[in-house]
Amino acid sequence: MTRKFFGTDGIRGRTNSDKMTASTAMRIGQAAGAHFRRGTHRNRVVIGKDTRLSGYMVESALVAGFTSVGVDVIMTGPLPTPAIAMLTHEMRADLGVMISASHNPYEDNGIKLFGPDGFKLSDEDEMAIEALLDEKPQLAEPQDIGRARRIEDARGRYIHAVKQSVGADVRFDTLKVVVDCANGAAYQVTPSAIWELGAEVVTLGVTPNGTNINDGVGSTSLDALKAKVIETGADIGIALDGDADRLILIDEKGQTVDGDQIMALIATRMSEKGQLRGGGVVATVMSNLGLERYLEGIGLTLERTRVGDRHVLERMKQGGFNIGGEQSGHMILLDHATTGDGTVAALRVLSSLVRSGRPASELLRLFDPVPQLLKNVRFDGGNPLAAEGVKQAIVAGEAELAGKGRLLIRASGTEPLIRVMAEGDDAALVERVVDSICDSVRAAV
């Protein structure tokens, strides 16, 4: 069966067009509700969202869909994606839903689904829901229609949970931290959690208005955070994305620290304490070769998966790993969360800062990255990678990098982009190969 709705991270699209309409959201609620109806108890779903204007519309449509097939709904309002995963399991819900398009602009929105265990759905569950979308919904009898209610303490529950990820003896009193919440889902909870642990907190991206999510702030727009860290003399800057499941850091010198360095630090500390499981870290094909070399140097492994935190998580569960993530900032720490959690990862880094007494620029530079270049080419339709000129350019690039580096070309699973990445010890060669392939893709589109 061909996927029409689900991509690499749930369902995502431009609001009021393509897949992200109110009618589609209602159908998804009906199909997911029908698929997860089980047992003799009142079935329930937890629904959270980020701060996009369209979140109200999608939320209302999902509520209509779920209640129409007899599923009760619990609404939390704006909360990070990992908070919804946590609450789904904690509240014994049958399903969790996060309404968010993550790092995308406000015009887009998406729907992420979690099973009763708090983990993202398997391929089998997603395909089963897709199949139900083509069938007539089995509507509940009038007396069995679901009820909907909002809970007011969801933020407090999440703040309490994430604070448990650091030792009870740890305080952040010595730290000044700039927290950029991307005008997204974490705009209240993450600054509060860090402040409650004692840090002086300076905030950015905490005034959402429905249309400014990820707009010049957050993990994909770091200039404002870099400037604020330098201006305030902060020890570190924390950048989340729209739904706060990823983390990028800025050190006290204004330099970017990506997910590879964060994984290296957390894995090193946990290995030293005997807390690391699986013998290493799970990351994607995008992670830098420098990370792989560093981990090998301290006796750990790096296992690579396809791009997407769900693929990382699947391998972690299979191999018994408790640390995984992506260079883009998804950090999965299975001892504390069932999905990527930028706030938990940030607290672990802050804890290491306090315990080490070292500046972030030293603590978070565990390896020298191999020159790596990623460029994106936008396209409007079709399959540019099938063009003969593109195929020839890729073959030529692979031949140039043979034995000297890696080449990765893929279509984005969330946006109409072709991503071209190469890495190797020769920066000039890497740039030449990437530019050549990007030029061939542009010519094809």
Q: By residue range, what is the domain housing residue 338? A: 172-363
Same domain, 141 and 193: no
CA 99/CA 149 separation, integer angstroms: 17
pLDDT for the residue numbered 39: 85
In a domain, 311, yes or no: yes
Task: Provide the pLDDT for residue 2.
Answer: 64
The pLDDT-based confidence of 245 (bands split at 50, 70, 90) is very high
Catalytic, 440? Answer no
DSSP 360: H
Task: Please report whether residue 309 resides in a domain.
Answer: yes
Query: Residues 5, 133: contact at Cβ < 8 Å?
Result: yes
Q: What DSSP element (H or E) covers 291?
A: helix 289-297
* CA nearest to 45, candidates 177, 139, 146: 146
119 and 197, same domain (yes or no): no
Asked if residue 1 is part of any domain, the answer here is no
- Residue 142 identity: P
406: domain CATH number is 3.30.310.50
Q: What is the pLDDT of residue 382?
A: 82
Whole-number average pLDDT of the chain: 94
Same domain as 420, residue 332: no
Examine the domain organization and report whether 316 and 273 are in the same domain.
Answer: yes
Q: Which of 102, 165, 192, 271 is catalytic?
A: 102
Residues 83 and 119 in one domain: yes
36 belongs to a structural domain: yes
Place of tokens 């529950």: 157
Query: Are both 193 and 339 inside the same structural domain?
Result: yes
Q: What is the pLDDT of residue 7?
A: 79
> Do residue 180 and residue 311 come from a single domain?
yes
- Domain assignment present for residue 235? The answer is yes
Which residue(s) pair with 302 in the sheet?
281
Token couple for 428 = 């000039």
pLDDT of 216 strictly over 70 = yes
| Sign of the CA dihedral running 245, 83, 159, 184 | positive
Look at residue 24 in the predicted model and tell me its pLDDT: 94
In a domain, 349, yes or no: yes
Question: Comparing C-alpha atoms, which of 136, 155, 162 is closest to residue 27?
Answer: 136
Percent of the chain with pLDDT over 90: 88
Residue 397 half-sphere exposure, CB side, CA atoms within 13 Å?
A: 28
Residue 165 within a domain: no
**8 Å CB contact between 219 and 182:** yes
Q: What residues form DSSP beta bridges with 411?
A: 418
pLDDT tens per residue, range 52-70: 999 999 999 999 999 999 9
Rounded to whole angstroms, the Cα distance separating 22 from 263 reads 38
| Percentage, residues of the chain above pLDDT 70 | 99
| Same domain? 322 vs 409 | no
Q: From residue 224, how far is each of 84, 217, 245, 252 by CA, in Å?
A: 28, 6, 20, 14
* CATH number of the domain that residue 148 is part of: 3.40.120.10
For 176, phi then psi, to 5°, come to -110, 125
Closest to 81 in 3D by CA, of 53, 117, 107, 120: 120
- The verdict on 92 and 190 lying in the same domain is no
Please check whether residues 137 and 77 belong to one and the same domain.
yes
Q: Which of 321, 340, 363 is the last residue of a domain?
A: 363
Are 295 and 377 within one domain?
Answer: no
Q: Which conformational region is residue 222 in: left (phi greater than 0), alpha (psi within -120 to 50 degrees), or beta?
A: alpha
Residue listed under structure tokens 């705009």 = 187
What mean pLDDT comes out for the span 372-379? Answer: 92
112-136 average pLDDT score: 92
Half-sphere exposure of 162 (CA within 13 A, CB side): 36
pTM for this predicted structure: 0.90
The DSSP bridge partners found for residue 112 are 98
Q: Of the residues 333, 363, 393, which one is the last residue of a structural domain?
A: 363
Token pair in block for residue 188 = 């209240």
| Residue 166 resides in a domain | no
pLDDT band at 4 (very low <50, low <70, confident <90, very high): confident
- Asked if 287 and 427 sit in the same domain, the reply is no
Whether 247 and 262 have beta carbons less than 8 Å apart is answered as: yes
Give pLDDT tens digits for 304-331.
999 888 899 999 999 999 999 999 999 9
Counted domains in the chain: 3
Contact 1, 59 (CB under 8 A): no
Angle, nearest 10°, between helix axes 259-272 and 342-356?
A: 60
Domain boundary among 363, 395, 417: 363
Q: What one-character-per-residue DSSP string does 15-32 give?
A: BTSTTBSHHHHHHHHHHH
